[in-house]
Structure 1
Amino acid sequence: MPSSEQRTPGLAIASVICGPLGIFTAGLSGIAAVITGHMALSAIKRSGGRLKGTGLAITGLVTGYLTILILPIAILAGLTAPVFLKQRQRADLTETIQNARQLHIAFIAFDGEYGSFPSDELARELPEFSGLTGPRVLEQLEVSGMVDDLDRLLAAKAAPGSKWYYFPRMSSSGKPEPRLLMGPMIGDRYATLRIDGSVKAEPPTSLSPSDLTGSVEIPVPQRSR
């Protein structure tokens, strides 16, 4: 006859303790939880009712298997996440570069029509550009019909508050080297459009604070990331 005093085997207690610890031991404690859990269930079954702790053993088994199966996946995801992020940033930067090239086509067409790139001076001279100065100066491209959707071309998957930098008072007849438009920082690069139409992804080290002198800051229209 089974004894009225049932005891809990140490294996069941060890299993329920080792299971959650697998999170902190890269699954090693989870393996111990599974082994001790199965041993505890076998001992309880053979005891003829003298041992209890089935619930503890099952809990240890479940948490042990979870840490063994899920934790490696989580670790692998953590290791690969930076790679995917870098690939995403590279794709976002490529898209910004393509948009800058489309803007250059609009700049050239605008220059051919008005004799210069968009500027505050043109806004004061021509009624159709009235008020399109400062951060709104590039809207002259849209009003003139050189682009259909300026916000689409200026939109970028950059940090909130990011800006484009536009260097006015230039035309296509100037030297080809100077910057015409500089995009927001995406990852560790920003796109720079020069007067000759070349666009390069440049690191921050290639830019000094003095390089932004005379530029106009244009907020990046935000879109879903």
Structure 2
Amino acid sequence: MSRADDRDHDHDRASEHGHDHAHGDGGGAGHVDLPIAARVRRLEERAIAAGLTSDAELDAFLTRFLERATPVNGARLAARAWTDPAFLERLLADGNAAVAELGLGPADPAGQSYRLMVVENTATVHNVIVCTLCSCYPLSLLGPSPSWYKSHAYRARVVREPRAVLAEFGLALPDEVEIAVWDSSSEARYMVLPRRPENAADLCEEALTRRVTREGLIGTASI
């Protein structure tokens, strides 16, 4: 697990996470040059040759997965955590177990499991997620990643100058608020739990869910 604020941005983020190993792309980008992509395709071809599946079936599975992969899933987690202190505690302690309670098991389209880490925004700490070498993130909870998340500019700059990057997204944070940057990998992926909106004490869980955005779950917006 990594954490770097904008006062200490010279750490080698890639080496902290062992990103020298190949890992899957949680954002849907086509990394066909990576060894893992070639291995996956060889396994697919062997399964097809053995009569266990077909390209059409694999495509249909991916389509069904992407239909269910939506930021609404992450928003449901946030709204439940805001309204249920016990669930909040479970979510922060074991994201996978808490997500399973809502039937939203975190897995990528290839069925690869990972450890889901949910990091909570507070009055003094704001979290933002990135994958410095790829675009890994919890696809099933946040939906397909936006193009800027996969861009080299975001992946490089948000580690070095997170405050400036967030300001460009329209999120200006006070100097006293620490910015924690979390680097995803194939083994651990992150989701930000935004702070509950102000003046929302009377909103039900469903109404709160509608207030959460994908950018809020990544950390480039407040909610």
Higher relative contact order (CA 8 A, sep 6+): 2
Q: TM-score, normalised by structure 1?
A: 0.30
Instruction: Give the number of the structure whose residues are more often helix, by fraction.
Output: 1
Q: Which has the larger radius of gyration?
A: 1
